[in-house]
Structure 1
Amino acid sequence: MVLSDLVSTLQLSIGPVILISGVGLIILSLTNRFGRIIDRTRQLSVEYRSASGADLHRILSELKILTIRAKVIRGSNFMAVLSVLFVSFIIIGLFWSALFKINIGYLIVALFIASIISLIWALFLFIYDLELSLKALWIELPDSIAKPDKK
């Protein structure tokens, strides 16, 4: 392999590496949200043990939403990590292609499309989690604040 070939391959790899960095920040955000969901679930579990009546119903409703949110964020995180894995395979493919002088352009394109689809799926799940977090918030707030009187 000639040094100029290696340099051009490294230049081609810069784009995917930037994508990995960006998706990595999304994964960090999702992991933080997941941790907050777990912390809130633990807090409500403690409250549940001593609750009664309306509080018991409110806590159970919120716990159900938190369970769904944890699954949604886990799915979103999985899809974001899958996106990074596809990009990693792209980088390996670029180097393999340059090293062994084989044309795997269609494989690179397929991996890129798979990466972007995984990222889009992760972002849609993230949006769904945001909606669920608002739903849980409305359960937690007293009715007077959540549903103010219309005058």
Structure 2
Amino acid sequence: MHQVSLSELIPTLQVAVGPVVLISGVGLLLLSMTNRLGRTIDRARHLVREMRGLQPEDREAVVRQLRILTKRATIIRRAIFLASLSVLFAAMLVILLFLFSLLHFEVAWLVGILFILCMLCLIASLIFFIRDINQALIAVRLDLGNIQD
């Protein structure tokens, strides 16, 4: 078996830096998403406690807010899942780049597929993230409507 020299491995290291940076960036995005999920859940719990003391006619506004929060939690959960999947594909990509370099395999199509899957999951995750932000704005408009009434 051919021993891989450091000079042969350096180009692989250079190529693998891209997915590693992607993992770091998506990790920060995941941190933001999990914080949003936590705040959404905390807000829902607060509203449920608040609703117990309200009169039936005042509960409808809280129920509308809870519906939006439930929808937001579902959207954020999907965004987190897809971002996590993106990181998983990026990590697999780094491992495969090293294995292919060490074993002298030439399977560019597999590297390409993993990269495309990584990017598609990231794009879908960002779309869900934007949907959550839009839902948050809808909830704020409901709150402002209740204040103006």
- Give percent identity, aligned residues only: 43
Q: Secondary structure at the match of 1:141?
A: helix
Q: Secondary structure at the match of 1:106?
A: helix
**Distance change in 2, residues 1:49/1:36 (3 Å):** same
Q: Paired residues, what number?
A: 146
4+ long deviations beyond 2 Å: 141-146
- TM-score w.r.t. structure 2 length? 0.93
1:138 aligns with 2:141: yes
- TM-score w.r.t. structure 1 length? 0.92
1:72 aligns with 2:75: yes
Letter in 1 for 2:141: W
Distance 1:48 1:128 in 2: 26
- From 18, 37, 40, the equivalent of 2:40 is 37
Q: Is the contact between residue 93 and residue 104 of structure 1 (CA under 8 Å) also seen in structure 2? A: no
Residue 82 (structure 1) aligns with? 85
**CA root-mean-square deviation:** 1.3
Letter in 1 for 2:79: S
- From 51, 55, 62, the equivalent of 2:54 is 51
Distance 1:54 1:22 in 2: 46
Structure 1 gap ranges (5+): 147-151
**Distance change in 2, residues 1:117/1:91 (3 Å):** same
Structure 2 gap ranges (5+): none
Map Cα deviations across residues 40-99 of structure 1 (whole Å, 9 max, x no partner).
Answer: 011001011111134200110000110010000000000000000000010011001001
Deviation at 1:3, TM superposition (A): 1.0
